[in-house]
Structure 1
Amino acid sequence: MPDWLLAMIVQNDLGIESLRSYQVRDSGNVAFGGLKDGYDILNPHSTAAIIQAGACGLSSPTSKFYRSTALLADMNAAALYLIKTQHEDGTIDLLSTNFHSTPDTGFIVKRLAMSYTLMEKSGTPGVEKVLPNLKTFLIRGGEALSRGGIHTPNHRWVVSAALTKLNELWPNPKYAARIEQWLGEHIDMDKDGQYNEKSTFIYSSLTDRLLITVAKGLKKPELLDYVRKNLNMTMFYVHPNGEVVTDASGRQDKAVIGTLENYYYPYRFLAIKDNSGEYAAMCRLIEKTAGPKTGAFIDYFLTDPSLWVDLTAEKPLPVSYVKTFPNSGLVRIRRNNWDSTLIANNPVWFTFMKGTAVLQGVRFASSFFGKGQFQSEKLTESGKTWTLTQKLDGPYYQPLPKEKIKADGDWEKMPKTDRQQSEVQILETTIQIKETSEGMEIEIMTKGTERVPAALELIFRPGGTLKGVSKIENTKDSWLLKNGTGSYSFGTDTISFGPGLALHKNVALRGALPAMEAPTVFITGFTPFKHVIRFQ
């Protein structure tokens, strides 16, 4: 085994020890064998985790749990608990949200089918008495996966990959038929190389792993072309510090701080299969920036020794580019150690990073009729300038025509759509963004209704140091840039920004989103608002 895999085994051993501490060990307890989560809730996912991690330990000669009969007994108790909590239809529950859930059954079945393979090959004494219990859970799960429904696009591939692993162990025509039925809907990939959910931290990488599983198990190499396209796109979603751009996600990972560990298996699999220097370089980058986190996928590597070989020579990754992803409404600009992301259809429409110094978002709002949070449906490019726009109206309403008035005077029965509008106020906002020789420049312009309070919000990542700004009294971490240039430093990296403007201190404008839990610098004024700010 290569050194990186041996390191994963050491880390997995620590995980096994932790998981065992959460297991119910009282044989007289109805929950015997089950595992609690951090909230003390017994659940199938935590319980399955001890089987997954345990199988990796039992089958690894360098593990302290190699062929451990004590651990095997704990895993058997966990398997029996899973059977006990499995519904008659073969499904399990995700207690935080989904019940009688086929997709969540698929997540568990796929990994436990891999565990079954590792356990079977481990040579652990007594394993032949445990495997039938695990098989019972898996076969019953297969029944659910063969007919159950889904919620989200990626769930189709979760179910398909789980059925693929079951079909490898116990071939069944109905498994293959159900997979073909889901694949018949085609893969949900746009021209940018992104899946429907645009979930760069969680679900894009998950879909890559699932499609590889199906491609291998059902001999459908054409599915790998989708994985390649997504991996090629992802190379342009990498911040200089090794994080992945998450701002355009349509799922729960939107704007989270995410690293690339979830992509390690897809990149390594195709780096070896395609002899790709670019994919090999991505593997090295992930090892450097998120190495320990790749251990979450140790079972993928233990069940496929072809991935243990050395990677090919690396080729340079893109580090200086302007790349547009129109289907995601996103533009990526990177110049070696700094980068910027422009985002449409999002209240956070600009980010800027210099190494470890991170401006994690810029927002603009006005107190225009309680609906002045700026958001643009489109991001248009003209030459070297990108433009975001928003047009708002604020009408008043005249008395209803007599024939529309309700006798009981019920306001809800007399909608505004039946009233004539008057004194209609208009506020148009245009934001233009362009690259400069040292960074980025934003120009904000409004026209229409005058004297509307407005505020530009610069949201920095917690942990750094602000200079050149003034604290706003009675706030936790809000600041004004009154004039000149401010700076934000984290470690040895610094972002400078300015010039400032502070014509008022109202930074909690009616209709604007609440302040984020982060150090935030405001630039304030009134409409017609026109201001240019530069980041470098």
Structure 2
Amino acid sequence: MHRRTVVRIGATSLGLLPLLPATAFGNSPSVPAAAKPTWLLDLIKRNDQHLSQARAYRITDPGSPAFGGFIDGDDIPNPHSTAGFVRQAACSMACPESGFYRSRELLAEVGPAVQYLLKIQHTDGTIDLLSTNFHSTPDTGFLVKRLVPAYTLLERSGTPGREPVLAALKTFLLRAGEALSVGGIHTPNHRWVVCAALAKLQERWPNPRYVARVDEWLAEHIDMDADGQYNERSTLIYSPLTNRLLITIAKGLNKPELLDYVRRNLAMTLYYVHPNGEVVTEASGRQDKALVGTLEGYYYPYRYMALRDTNGQMAAMCRLIEQTALPKLVGYLDYLLEEPALWNELPAAGPLPTHYGKEFGRSGLVRIRRGDWDSTILSANPVWLTFSRGNAVLQGLRVAASFFGKGQFQTEKIIREGNRWVLTQSLEGPYFQPFSKADIAEDGDWEKMPREKRRQSEVQRLDSNVTITEADGGLTIQIDMSGTDGVPVALELIFRSGGTLAGVSSHPMRDKAFLFNEASGTYTLQGDTITFGPGRAEHKNVQLRGALPAMDAPTVYLTGFTPFRHTLRLS
């Protein structure tokens, strides 16, 4: 998953996402905190368990250059695993309900961990992300925005002997602040990572350079489109991250106008939820594209905004996340401990959208949901449709033809025609005539006679049209591929691993591949079933030249030849 979470003990163990201060919302008067709710007590216990597991990856040899540090999944000591441990430990030591409350033994491990961070910190204040980025300002920001709250929690804990550890951690953070005040970035969200880290530093150790640098980055404006989505369209990783970062900046530097972007993205995300609580990821422009994931990263923003705005829909999203992903919230415990106002009871839940057909043109997709089933239609993507019914998930439909090595279908846009969605693609397969005599390369070098300068002939065409219509508790998909006759075609129904297929037959030579020639078939997972059909199996070539490789998932194939006209029903 996330490029920063190659740690053996996992992202939920280390918690690699941002935090907020202990004040109430914005600049409003402090809201009296309720007693710690049951769900928070559960997370404190889980953090203890994860912390116990994390301690096994500490380098305990005093003679090691990395003494006090923590290793990742490849046994490499690194700052991210080490900082994650410091954050976890601070949470536990600050909680009277924790088995590690004010633990001197744990503090004796946190101290060397902080010293390790100081040792590997470069003179410019940066740290390295050993998998790719060196002297990295943004990766320094990822650490700082969580370590400042860890500092606060450890300070509040009253743990005896904490002062030298706090002094060392402050040194690390202030050195990092120098880097964050001048260093550069790679990606859109990195700007807000740096700004959020500086906002956290500003809360503890005010410095006009921090504020000036934040204002410099914010002058570029927030990268949000008309749909309410950020530039990277990363619904599992970077959109929820950006929401948390903007809240941090808004609170820390009194910029409440930034919360409008958070509101817009959270409102959009209401329509990116599968019935089983997973989030739609197929349109992402980052490494979470088409990954399976839940909504825990959005919990803090939804809870913060639900309480700030008394918003029932956002409160309902919080309750949905608690129902579907509560154990994963342990990775955000520091947020929830540092800001006691979040412990208050949520507003009454409002209705969530569960019956809609909604287009997000800037992201190139359409979302359809009707109660317990939903579907995503995608442009600029070889997977142009997904369909799920509860836990039964059709991860994608793809179709390809053996057409001059370029027959993988994808549409540039999704066109709405009444109650139908239309996807199209037109391809040409030309042949090329001799080069003109005046332009022939004397040495016969093929590269000196570019094909685009040759006259075309015998041009072949392949026109593909897919029409998607709601019908009978599901979808009807009409596929029409024509132009050049006799071209082999393969339509893929790619299902999630773990379920049971019926009405199909195993391909004689390919693993996880099934041919389908019956009137209907089914796929069942955890009591939920998708019905599909009718089938068609005119040949067994399911890996056509020019098509994408098969996915590592159970895949049902419908095969034929152009003109290929077929109507598939999903329900």
How would you bin the TM-score normalised by the shorter chain? over 0.9
Query: Aligned Cα RMSD in Å?
Result: 0.8
Is it true that 1:277 corresponds to 2:312 in the alignment?
A: yes
Separation of aligned partners in 2, 1:47 and 1:507: 47
Q: What is the aligned counterpart of 2:44 among 3, 9, 13?
A: 9
Separation of aligned partners in 2, 1:18 and 1:138: 26
Q: CA deviation at 1:314?
A: 0.8
User: What is the letter of the counterpart of residue 440 of structure 2?
Assistant: I
SS, match of residue 100 in structure 2: coil
Corresponding residue for residue 501 of structure 2: 466
4+ aligned runs moved over 6 Å, structure 1: none
Corresponding residue for residue 515 of structure 2: 480
User: What is the letter of the counterpart of residue 363 of structure 1?
Assistant: R
Is it true that 1:78 corresponds to 2:109 in the alignment?
A: no
Q: CA deviation at 1:475?
A: 1.1
Q: What is the aligned counterpart of 2:272 among 219, 232, 237?
A: 237
Q: What is the aligned counterpart of 2:555 among 511, 520, 530?
A: 520
Separation of aligned partners in 2, 1:409 and 1:34: 62
User: What is the letter of the counterpart of residue 186 of structure 1?
Assistant: H
Separation of aligned partners in 2, 1:487 and 1:17: 44
SS, match of residue 57 in structure 2: coil
Corresponding residue for residue 289 of structure 1: 324
Is it true that 1:442 corresponds to 2:473 in the alignment?
A: no
User: What is the letter of the counterpart of residue 63 of structure 1?
Assistant: S
Q: What is the aligned counterpart of 1:254 among 262, 278, 289?
A: 289
SS, match of residue 539 in structure 2: coil
SS, match of residue 244 in structure 1: coil
Corresponding residue for residue 403 of structure 1: 438
Q: Is the 8 A contact 1:34 1:78 kept in 2?
A: yes
Q: Is the 8 A contact 1:247 1:254 kept in 2?
A: yes
User: What is the letter of the counterpart of residue 86 of structure 1?
Assistant: Q
Q: CA deviation at 1:491?
A: 2.0
Q: What is the aligned counterpart of 2:79 among 41, 44, 55?
A: 44
Separation of aligned partners in 1, 2:359 and 2:388: 18
Q: What is the aligned counterpart of 2:369 among 334, 345, 349?
A: 334
Q: CA deviation at 1:270?
A: 0.7
User: What is the letter of the counterpart of residue 451 of structure 1?
Assistant: G
Corresponding residue for residue 507 of structure 1: 542
Query: Please, which moves more after superposition, 336-345 or 395-404?
Result: 395-404
Structure 2: which 5+ runs fail to align?
Answer: 1-35
Separation of aligned partners in 2, 1:41 and 1:76: 20
User: What is the letter of the counterpart of residue 170 of structure 2?
Assistant: K
Q: CA deviation at 1:323?
A: 1.0
SS, match of residue 327 in structure 1: coil
Q: CA deviation at 1:97?
A: 1.4
Q: What is the aligned counterpart of 2:149 among 103, 111, 114?
A: 114
Corresponding residue for residue 406 of structure 2: 371
Q: CA deviation at 1:65?
A: 0.9
SS, match of residue 479 in structure 1: strand
Q: Is the 8 A contact 1:483 1:502 kept in 2?
A: no
Query: Please, which moves more after superposition, 416-425 or 513-522?
Result: 416-425
SS, match of residue 362 in structure 2: helix
Q: Is the 8 A contact 1:404 1:418 kept in 2?
A: no
Count how many residue pairs are aligned between Structure 1 and Structure 2: 536
TM-score, L = length of structure 2? 0.93
Is it true that 1:192 corresponds to 2:224 in the alignment?
A: no
Q: CA deviation at 1:407?
A: 2.3
Corresponding residue for residue 300 of structure 1: 335
Separation of aligned partners in 2, 1:192 and 1:294: 27
Cα deviations across residues 69-105 of structure 1 (Å, max 9, x unaligned)? 1111211111111111111111111111111111111
Corresponding residue for residue 164 of structure 2: 129
Q: CA deviation at 1:245?
A: 0.4
User: What is the letter of the counterpart of residue 264 of structure 1?
Assistant: Y
Q: What is the aligned counterpart of 2:258 among 198, 223, 241?
A: 223
Task: Give identity over the alignment, percent.
Answer: 63
TM-score, L = length of structure 1? 0.99
Separation of aligned partners in 2, 1:512 and 1:16: 46
User: What is the letter of the counterpart of residue 220 of structure 1?
Assistant: K
Q: CA deviation at 1:493?
A: 1.1
Corresponding residue for residue 396 of structure 2: 361
Q: CA deviation at 1:383?
A: 0.3
Corresponding residue for residue 416 of structure 1: 451
Corresponding residue for residue 31 of structure 2: none
Corresponding residue for residue 131 of structure 2: 96
Structure 1: which 5+ runs fail to align?
Answer: none
Q: CA deviation at 1:332?
A: 0.7
Q: CA deviation at 1:305?
A: 0.4
Q: CA deviation at 1:420?
A: 1.3
Q: Is the 8 A contact 1:457 1:520 kept in 2?
A: yes
Q: CA deviation at 1:327?
A: 0.7
Q: CA deviation at 1:403?
A: 2.5
Q: Is the 8 A contact 1:344 1:375 kept in 2?
A: yes
Corresponding residue for residue 452 of structure 1: 487
User: What is the letter of the counterpart of residue 403 of structure 2?
Assistant: F
